[in-house]
Amino acid sequence: MTVRKRPSRRGALSISQALRLLNNTAFCDQARMLRAEIATVMASTTEQDQRDRFLLERVPPFVGRWGVPPPQAVDLLDPDPRRPLVEAIGSGRWGVVPIFKWTRNQDIKTAVRKIRRIIHTQHQDAENARRAQLDGWLESCGFSRTEIARAVWGRRQGLRRPSRAVAIGRLAEGDEQALLQQYLGQGLSRTQAEQRVYKRVRGSEPKATAAVRVAGQRYVSTLRDLNAALAQPTISEPVSHALTMLIGADADDVDTAEIRRRITAVKKALTDPQSP
């Protein structure tokens, strides 16, 4: 198994200093330009050697000046409040509820509930996404998950695994023996079984660092789902879907006839009877 070594932090920035760079206009401007150059090279060639040469040429000078690599997430450099709205519309994760003078409140509530079930609304999405973006960048800078959990998530507890005595003390009476017998029944020696019990009750990592790891995994999964939805927008209901397809029509790539078809689809969605 290959063990990935964490970059040395000797003589480097503290985590609070790194976070303050996100408020430094010069840092953000240079990071955005470097990100744009990297994106251009990655899109223009599939030769890994050429990509690696470019990164080795351009990234070290940036790190040499600022002490950290550029953030991977553009939102950390350019937190444009319009971006979530554009992504929601482009991915079809929104809905339209036509309201007429005869529309009942119950019809509106029913339609809203149906839309929410499809687009999977969540609370604090923006806050959690930013934390996950910060986690990924700070980890690439060489900071430990413990440092990140403390600085980004404000965690003061769960930064270390509990001792054996504390972990065992938290077990309900009889649970320790039940676990021990379970592992002994699997053919393990008593010493091996006891080690399994301790590992299980203590956990494989501190709760705070586990939260950082899981947040990163969820964020990556969210990005993957978003990219898939941008390629094939979600249909929450006919009106918003027709508008999404019309808005997504690029005049340079879509002919006039196709745009007319999409306009017709919007008219049809608005005028056809809608079931709440």
pLDDT by residue (tens digit) across 144-195? 999 999 999 998 888 887 776 776 666 776 777 787 788 788 888 888 887 7
Quick count: other Cβ atoms within 10 Å of Cβ 134?
Answer: 24
Q: What is the pLDDT of residues 78-108, one digit of tens each?
A: 888 898 899 999 999 999 999 999 999 999 9
Q: Which residues form the domain of 65? A: 12-70
Question: What distance in Å separates the CA atoms of residue 87 and residue 81, rounded to the nearest whole number?
Answer: 11
CA–CA gap between residue 191 and residue 170 (Å, rounded):
21
Q: Note whether residue 33 is domain-resident.
A: yes
pLDDT band at 122 (very low <50, low <70, confident <90, very high): low
Q: 25 lies in a domain?
A: yes
d(CA 197, CA 202): 8
Query: Lowest-confidence range among 4-8, 133-137, 151-155, 199-203?
Result: 4-8
pLDDT of 130 above 70: yes
CA dist 78 → 135, 222, 245 (Å): 17, 20, 27
Residue 183: inside a domain: no
Residue 50 lies in a domain: yes
Number of domains the chain contains:
1
User: What was the pLDDT predicted at 173?
Assistant: 64
- Over residues 213-223, mean pLDDT: 89
Contacts of 228 (CB under 8 A, 6+ apart): none
Cα separation of 44 and 235, whole Å?
Answer: 33
Between residues 1 and 98, the one the model is more confident about: 98
Residue 110 CA to residue 112 CA, distance in Å, equals 5
* Residue 79 within a domain: no
Instruction: Name the CA radius of gyration of the chain, rounded.
Output: 26
Is residue 59 situated within a structural domain?
Answer: yes
pLDDT grade for 227, boundaries at 50, 70 and 90: very high
Domain-located, residue 116 = no
Region 17-30: what's the mean pLDDT? 95
Torsion of CA 110, 114, 120, 122, to 10 degrees: -10
Please indicate, yes or no, if residue 92 is contained in any of the structural domains.
no
Residue 273 has pLDDT above 70, yes or no: no
